[in-house]
């Protein structure tokens, strides 16, 4: 993306008209003054409790500051195939230098950093083995594909202010062709119009569909562990990509009939893959756009996985309404996607994944990270009732919401 944007200073701050401060505001002001006082650090180093608190805070801030180095250490390990290599057999620096073709001196720095980040582990005889955080990276191809894909976001974030000023210039924006369709307001040039769904270059469609398919594995396992799908007769997956989810459902729930709906280019890939897995008699695939076409009827459960966050509110309203129209009375919608952990109602909640999704979706172009409350209210606007969260053992990947057409 274009990173030549000038950094204009923020406009001068004008304090709001004076209103009597509440006790909470007065307390927050006192804490801010205390925390930023130069003498606090001196005082904290001089006593055990202060030292402990200050050290934890300094470590946490250092991690925030150095996060960009950590992600590149991870990327280097993935690109060099280091984790797979030490998983097969722990290896010495010299053996790894031969394997990677890197100078031992530079590689030593990578290995030591990877040990510090728990991607690698020190073993006897000066060898390196797999670390606790390296293990899932070796196990899941989808995780490695996302780490490689994040290199694109890393480029876009080189100048975060440029990204915020001109998100449409981001390379991530060009990666997702349908995001560009919905980034423009409906009726405007660039908005999804008749035929636009089919017009996306097939190599781009195949590339993003493959990435989604490989990274969907976690969500599939979490859904199957969290909800009894056997209580339904027919399931429609909207924005179902290459069909990984419906194929897994077909295998695990032999009595279920399945349908998938996605853009025509993606639907064609799904049809082919489903046929390759000999599941064409269990799964019917429909091509179309949920911003323009009616969804196929007949399902008593619709699943919408990792779709809403790609789109602005007006498109989410359209797709939720289309799902509502396609369902019979008593039918259900199960929505799964990353949800904001921290919001104005729960500001102190740990929200480790929020910054990633906020900036990923900004660079992508048209969507946004929503809280469970915001998504519930959009579902309710579309007519769904009895909306509730379903507990997911791993909410990092997806929060789950279910609602009914009454
Ligand atoms: C982020 S991917 C998620 C795919 C899959 N549900 C998953 O979890 O891996 C979003 C999917 O929505 C589809 N999609 C986007 N806009 C669409 C539209 N207007 N109509 C139908 N599908 C659409 C994309 O083609 C893509 O397969």
pLDDT digits (tens, 9 = 90+) for 244-299: 999 999 999 999 999 999 999 999 999 999 999 999 999 999 999 999 999 999 99
Residue 41, CB-side half-sphere exposure with 13 Å CA sphere: 5
* Each residue's pLDDT tens digit, 165-222: 999 999 999 999 888 776 554 444 444 443 344 468 788 899 999 999 999 999 999 9
* C-beta 263 within 6 A of ligand 1: yes
Residue 348 has pLDDT above 80, yes or no: no
Closest residue by Cα to atom 14, ligand 1, is 239
102 CA → ligand 1 middle, Å: 40
Ligand 1 atom closest to the Cα of residue 192 is 19
More confident residue, 340 or 341: 340
Cβ 262 under 6 angstroms from ligand 1: yes
Can you tell me the mean pLDDT for 16-33?
A: 82
User: What CATH superfamily is the domain 174-186+200-404?
Assistant: Vaccinia Virus protein VP39 (3.40.50.150)
Using the mean position of ligand 1's atoms as its centre, give its distance from the Cα of residue 39 in Å: 54
Q: What is the residue extent of each domain of the chain?
A: 41-139, 174-186+200-404
Atom of ligand 1 nearest to the CA of 315: 19
Contact 229, 256 (CB under 8 A): yes
Hey, what CATH class is 41-139 in? mainly alpha
Structure token pair of residue 294: 């009616």
- Give yes or no for residue 305 CB within 6 A of ligand 1: yes
User: With bands split at pLDDT 50, 70 and 90, how would you rate the model's confidence at 4?
Assistant: very low
Distance of CA 245 to the CA centre of its chain: 17
Cα 318 to ligand 1 centre (Å): 14
Ligand 1 atom with minimal separation from the 219 CA = 8
Rounded mean pLDDT of the chain?
Answer: 90
Q: Which of 145, 177, 178 to mutate to test the pocket of ligand 1 (most atoms within 8 A of CB)?
A: 178
Q: In the predicted model, is pLDDT for residue 346 greater than 80?
A: no
Evaluate if pTM is beyond 0.85: yes
User: Which residue has its alpha carbon closest to ligand 1 atom 16?
Assistant: 178
| DSSP-derived 3-state class of residue 293 | coil
For 62-84, what is each residue's pLDDT tens digit?
999 999 999 999 999 999 999 99
Band of pLDDT at residue 44, cut at 50, 70 and 90: confident
383: left (phi over 0), alpha (psi -120 to 50) or beta: left
Residue 370 near residue 351, CB atoms below 8 Å: no
CA–CA gap between residue 145 and residue 137 (Å, rounded): 10
Whether the CB of 338 sits within 6 Å of ligand 1: no
Three-state DSSP class for residue 24: helix
Phi/psi at 344 (5° precision): -60, -25
What is the per-residue pLDDT for 200? 81
Ligand 1 contact, 286 CB (< 6 A):
no
The pLDDT assigned to 193 comes to: 45
């Amino acid at each position: 993306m274009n990173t030549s944007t000038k950094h204009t200073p923020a406009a001068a701050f004008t304090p709001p008209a004076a209103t009597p401060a509440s006790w909470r505001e007065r307390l927050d002001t006192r804490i801010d003054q205390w925390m930023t006082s130069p003498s606090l650090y001196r005082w904290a180093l001089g006593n055990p409790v202060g030292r402990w608190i200050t050290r934890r805070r300094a470590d946490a801030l250092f991690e925030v500051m150095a996060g960009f180095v950590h992600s590149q250490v991870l990327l280097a390990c993935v690109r060099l195939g280091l984790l797979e290599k030490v998983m097969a057999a722990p290896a010495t620096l010299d053996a790894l230098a031969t394997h990677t073709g890197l100078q031992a001196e530079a590689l030593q720095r990578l290995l030591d950093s990877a040990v510090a980040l728990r991607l690698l582990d020190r073993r006897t005889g000066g060898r390196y083995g797999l670390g606790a955080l390296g293990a899932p990276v070796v196990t899941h191809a989808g995780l490695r594909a996302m780490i490689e894909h994040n290199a694109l976001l890393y480029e876009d974030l080189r100048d975060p202010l440029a990204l915020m000023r001109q998100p449409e210039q981001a390379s991530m924006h060009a990666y997702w062709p349908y995001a560009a369709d919905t980034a423009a307001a409906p009726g405007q040039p660039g908005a999804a119009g008749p035929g636009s769904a089919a017009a996306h270059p097939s190599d781009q469609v195949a590339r993003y569909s493959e990435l989604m398919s490989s990274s969907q594995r976690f969500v599939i396992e979490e859904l199957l562990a969290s909800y009894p799908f056997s209580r339904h007769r027919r399931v429609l997956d909207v924005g179902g990509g290459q069909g990984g989810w419906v194929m897994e459902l077909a295998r695990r729930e032999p009595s279920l009939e399945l349908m998938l709906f996605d853009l025509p280019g993606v639907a064609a890939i799904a049809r082919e893959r489903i046929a390759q897995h000999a599941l064409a008699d269990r799964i019917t695939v429909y091509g179309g756009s949920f911003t323009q076409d009616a969804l196929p009827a007949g399902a008593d459960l619709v699943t919408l996985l990792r779709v809403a966050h790609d789109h602005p509110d007006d498109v989410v309203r359209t797709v939720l309404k289309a799902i509502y129209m396609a369902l019979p009375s008593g039918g259900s919608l199960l929505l799964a996607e990353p949800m904001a952990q921290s919001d104005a109602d729960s500001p102190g909640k740990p929200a480790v994944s929020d910054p990633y999704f906020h900036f990923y979706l900004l660079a992508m172009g048209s969507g946004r990270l929503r809280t469970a409350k915001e998504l519930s209210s959009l579902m309710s606007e579309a007519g769904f009732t009895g909306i509730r969260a379903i507990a997911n053992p791993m909410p990092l990947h997806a929060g789950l919401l279910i609602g009914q057409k009454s």
